[in-house]
Amino acid sequence: MASFFRVLRFLMDDGCEMEVLAVSTTNLCLYVPMVCIAGATYVWRGMGNEPLVIAHGGFSGLFPDSSAIAYQFAGLVSLANVIFWCDVQLTKDAAGVCAPNPNLANNTDISNIFPNQSKTYSVNGFHEVEVPDMNDILSALDLIQGVFSRPNRFDGFFPVVTVNSIPQLSPPGLWLNVEHDVFFTQRNLSMRSFVLSVFKSTIVDYVSSPEVNFLKGLVARLPTGTKLIYRFLGQNDVDPSINQTYGSLLSNLTFIKTFASGILVPKRYIWPVDASLYLLPHTTLVSDAHKAGLEVFASDFANDASFAYDFSFDPVAESLSFIDNGNFTVDGMLSDFPITQSEAIACFAHIGKNVSGQESPLVISSKGASGDFPGCTNLAYQLAISDGVDILDCPVQMTNDGIAICLGSINLLDSTLVAQSPFSNLTTTISELGISNGIFTFSLTWSQIQTLTPAISNPYANYGLTRDPKYKNAGNFMTLSEFLVLAKNASSVSGVLISIEDAAYLAGYQGLDVTDVVLRTLQNASFSTQKVMIQSTNSSVLTKFKKESNYELIYVVDENIGGADNSSITEIKTFASAVVVSKSSVFTDNAEYLTSMTNVVQMLQAFQLQVFVQIFRNEFVSQAWDFFSDATVEINSYVTGAGIKGVVTEFPGTAARYKRNRCLGLGSKTPSYMSPVQPGSLYQLIPPTELPPAEAPNPLLTESEVVEGPLPPVAILAPPPGNGSNLATPPTKSNAQLEVVSSVVPSFLAFLIATLALF
């Protein structure tokens, strides 16, 4: 029968039309729904409506898997039609419970309650603890977090959930996963009989299993509306019911269609990665399965698991690659953190990079896109621009020959491989800077710094989280002048932020006037349409710029504060129009649980000061538990919850995408998955016996901490020995020490004598 196409139009409640393209070929009908956004239509390239979110054991990324609180929380923060997933296990008396695997020791306290009653079974190597009967399990066992890197403060307080009790949790949808039918059959327990009994009293939307024969045994007695899903495990693993590998079954999807409505596959069946965790081209599995009439669900989504480096530790970006890639859409995602997939589907899919976002917050880079490339390199800046940064930043450092460059630290050891260079013998300790055994930018000329290899920062290497190794040493450093040219030519960039630190030391000890160099460089760059911001932790720097320019000035509070007295804010207001504070100065936390919101933002804004917050990172360990290991949830909570006006981030792409999401500005209609977290709400759920020790509050910012005297005059240093030309080879350590320390005394004496001669 020839293919034919039909276009149907449906009028939605809000008056927006939704097109559905129906493609029929012989026994095949593909429905391609479209989501309606602001009058436009966007294709879901799947088999049904928008993709489903399946909550794996509820919100198991935070609470014990399959606990009542995990299910209830998933229902609160996910799409309205979220599906509750239950891994069905049978007890000795054939009662069904929800537990990740037959070994109850992995997610309950059974090892403590019933010690010395364990037995190791040979089937699939499972280790199961025997208990007398069902009543003992229900009355004696409590659930624990089975993933030991996740919070354990809710362990031992929630009982095992039975399959028959799930309806009491009012699940929007229910998915039963039967993983080990053969295993239980060998124990003389019938999983088929149990599931059929559940059908009589409970609406079950999906039943999945990695065993063909189990699903075949349900086909004849399947209730209307219940779908069977064949679950694929590892490609080299074997389905014990038919003794075939899952990899071999991938090429026989028409066989699976004879007994199932869809397939559930690990996400890497769809987007494989190489041995180094980089994405390979996507497979044709989704399109092949859709052509065979099978829905496709992807599993293994977890915000605290390993990501392909291509996603920059951003779980929303990963989810979007499965539903909004221009080629295919999976029909659902199985996740330990269902809030993330809910955001991706409802707020971020189909928005594109060219959609204009809301004005606030300003997305301010931190050394460019320094989460993806070595900071302050051309590549980091170029990626920040293409990712949609609003304000491009340059932390200014000075070279030995007086050139202003962009570099995140005055200590070259922090951002380069100088320790592996011929200049490695230039280490010295400078107490005025609080740095021991550093190699400093002012010890090398610009031409010498250009020979150094950049190094990406890895703030969470201790957690096993290293940033993109392929580009860990990529890119070239830039002078301030080159940076300004780059920013000026980027029409999407609304301004630049120049950060100046250590100005007093550079002037008084190194004879380098960083403020003057920055002023002259900016004047030569002739910025007219883009704003220029000058940032510093030193009021003396900003006071000088206020006298000599009209640039926007930003004061950085370099400590965590719990508040600020009026006099300190009044003083800041005399020289700055904005303030940068730390994340902990806005939301206080204890053991990574938010406890409260300070009045810092409110107080500063009351004095007409904009508030920016630093530093936002995508790695989940940088975030409090309350943000669900999702950088988007964190940004949203600071912006809509605390009202900040700018985010300083090492991953500007994530923040820029946040501004474009369609779930902002909805007022009372804002969905739960885009509502700010309430500080202390999660902390209050912790049982009293598990609360962490109380911590001392952060101090108040006082006027004396803000007020500084003027910058010292620029010291006139004695010329270095030799002919004064740039050094072709690094100086010896003793010469470096002479330049850094010894020359200071005669230079100040000369300055003092010259000054006295004026009187």
pLDDT tens string 185-230: 988 999 999 999 999 999 999 999 999 999 999 999 999 999 999 9
pLDDT in the model for residue 92? 85
pLDDT in the model for residue 462? 95
Q: What is the mean pLDDT of residues 105-113?
A: 84
608: phi then psi, degrees, rounded to nearest 5: 65, 35
- Predicted confidence band of residue 400 (pLDDT cuts 50, 70, 90): very high
Q: What is the mean pLDDT of residues 739-756?
A: 38
Q: What is the mean pLDDT of the chain?
A: 88
Q: What is the mean pLDDT of residues 360-369?
A: 97
Q: What does the radius of gyration of the chain's CA atoms come to, in whole angstroms?
A: 31
Q: What type of residue is 189?
A: L
pLDDT in the model for residue 440? 99
Coil, strand, or helix at residue 271?
Answer: coil
pLDDT in the model for residue 744? 38
User: Quick check: 533 and 553 in contact, CB under 8 A?
Assistant: yes
Q: What is the mean pLDDT of residues 549-555?
A: 97
Instruction: Give the DSSP H or E segment for 100.
Output: none
Looking at domain 362-407+465-695, its CATH superfamily turns out to be Phosphatidylinositol (PI) phosphodiesterase (3.20.20.190)
Q: What is the mean pLDDT of residues 122-142?
A: 62
pLDDT in the model for residue 136? 63
**Of 126-140, 176-190, 248-262, which gets the smallest average pLDDT?**
126-140
Q: What are the domain boundaries of the chain?
A: 4-43, 52-99+155-348, 362-407+465-695
pLDDT in the model for residue 356? 74
- Predicted confidence band of residue 736 (pLDDT cuts 50, 70, 90): very low
pLDDT in tens, 600-620: 999 999 999 999 999 999 999
pLDDT in the model for residue 353? 72
pLDDT in the model for residue 522? 97
Helix axes 212-219, 191-199, angle to 10 degrees: 40
Q: What is the mean pLDDT of residues 303-310?
A: 96
**Residue ranges in 141-252 assigned as alpha helix (H):** 181-185, 191-199, 212-219, 246-249
Tell me which residue has tokens 């290991």.
Answer: 629
**What is the 8-class DSSP label of residue 620?**
G
pLDDT in the model for residue 718? 79
Q: What type of residue is 699?
A: P
Residue 32 in this model has a pLDDT that exceeds 90: no
Q: What is the mean pLDDT of residues 118-145?
A: 65
Tell me which residue has tokens 């509306």.
Answer: 225
pLDDT in tens, 518-542: 999 999 998 878 999 999 999 999 9
Residues shown for the chain: 759
pLDDT in the model for residue 103? 81
Q: Which of 621, 619, 617 is closest to 635 using CA atoms?
A: 617
Q: Residue 433 and residue 438: Cα distance in Å, rounded?
A: 10
- Predicted confidence band of residue 110 (pLDDT cuts 50, 70, 90): confident
pLDDT in the model for residue 124? 57
User: Burial letters for 227-241: b for 16+ Cβ neighbours within 10 Å, e otherwise?
Assistant: ebbbbbbeeeebbbb
Strand partners, 349: none
| The dihedral sign for the CA sequence 369, 374, 379, 381 | positive
pLDDT in the model for residue 118? 64
Q: Is 315 exposed, middle or buried (0-12, 13-18, 19+ CB in 10 A)?
A: buried
**Residue ranges in 566-706 assigned as alpha helix (H):** 566-573, 600-606, 631-636, 652-659, 703-706
CA triple 597-361-523, angle to 5 deg: 125
Residue 752 in this model has a pLDDT that exceeds 80: no
**Top-tier CATH class for 52-99+155-348:** alpha beta
pLDDT in the model for residue 727? 47
Q: What is the mean pLDDT of residues 553-569?
A: 98
Cβ atoms within 10 Å, residue 190: 16
Give whole-number Cα distances, 545 to 223, 403, 519, 520, 692, in Å: 75, 19, 8, 12, 45
pTM of the model: 0.89
Q: What type of residue is 569?
A: I
**Residue ranges in 392-535 assigned as alpha helix (H):** 446-449, 480-488, 503-510, 514-525
Residue 16 in this model has a pLDDT that exceeds 60: no
pLDDT in the model for residue 710? 96
Residue 755's contacts (CB-CB under 8 Å, 6 or more residues apart) are none
- Let me know if the fold of 52-99+155-348 is the same as that of 362-407+465-695: yes
User: Quick check: 605 and 611 in contact, CB under 8 A?
Assistant: yes
Cβ atoms within 10 Å, residue 574: 12
User: Quick check: 362 and 654 in contact, CB under 8 A?
Assistant: no
pLDDT in tens, 684-724: 999 999 999 999 999 999 999 999 999 999 999 877 665 44
| The dihedral sign for the CA sequence 416, 421, 423, 428 | positive
Cβ atoms within 10 Å, residue 135: 12
Residue 68 in this model has a pLDDT that exceeds 70: yes
